């Protein structure tokens, strides 16, 4: 299933929902989380880069299916962001600064830390020694 249209055609909510639906389905079908995540984003944002797609394979299952590295789905998302925003180019750096990107990063980091805290708190409270 490949959605028709472009980024401009989709509203924000629709693009997010389509990415979720595609990523979910691709993961159920193939079980390679970084490629499933990236493929969904490639379909929504009409990216075409087979080398990029192949390059994230090794991150599945927390790096080489060993559970010792970063989340593969996160890696796929980061790869898609990197595809569009190459901060080694001056125009991208300027755009990032003008859009106050660092303020947005702080919000993302805060949300990421809060999400991780929730996961850790829940997991630790399921383990008997950590119960209160």
Domain ranges of the chain: 1-84, 89-132
CA–CA dist 98, 69 (Å, integer): 33
pLDDT of residue 20: 93
Whether the pLDDT of residue 132 is over 50: the answer is no
CA–CA dist 40, 1 (Å, integer): 10
Angle at which helices 33-45 and 72-84 cross, to 10°: 30
Whether the pLDDT of residue 2 is over 50: the answer is no
Over residues 91-119, the mean pLDDT reads 74
DSSP state of 4: -
Task: For residue range 18-75, list pLDDT tens digits in order.
Answer: 999 999 999 999 878 889 999 999 998 888 889 988 888 888 777 766 667 778 888 8
| pTM of the model as a whole | 0.61
Tokens of 129: 């020694």
pLDDT of residue 18: 92
């Amino acid at each position: 299933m490949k959605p028709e249209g472009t980024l401009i055609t989709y509203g924000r909510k629709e693009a997010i929902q389509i990415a979720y639906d595609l990523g979910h389905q691709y993961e159920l079908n193939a079980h390679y989380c970084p490629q499933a995540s990236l493929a969904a984003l490639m379909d929504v944002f009409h990216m075409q880069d087979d080398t990029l797609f192949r390059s994230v394979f090794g991150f599945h299952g927390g790096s080489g299916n060993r559970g010792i590295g970063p989340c593969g789905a996160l890696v796929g998302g980061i790869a898609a962001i990197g595809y569009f925003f190459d901060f080694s180019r001056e125009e991208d750096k300027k755009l990032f600064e003008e859009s106050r990107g660092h303020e947005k990063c702080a919000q993302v980091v805060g949300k990421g830390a809060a999400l991780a805290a929730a996961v850790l708190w829940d997991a630790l409270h399921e383990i008997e020694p950590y119960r209160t």
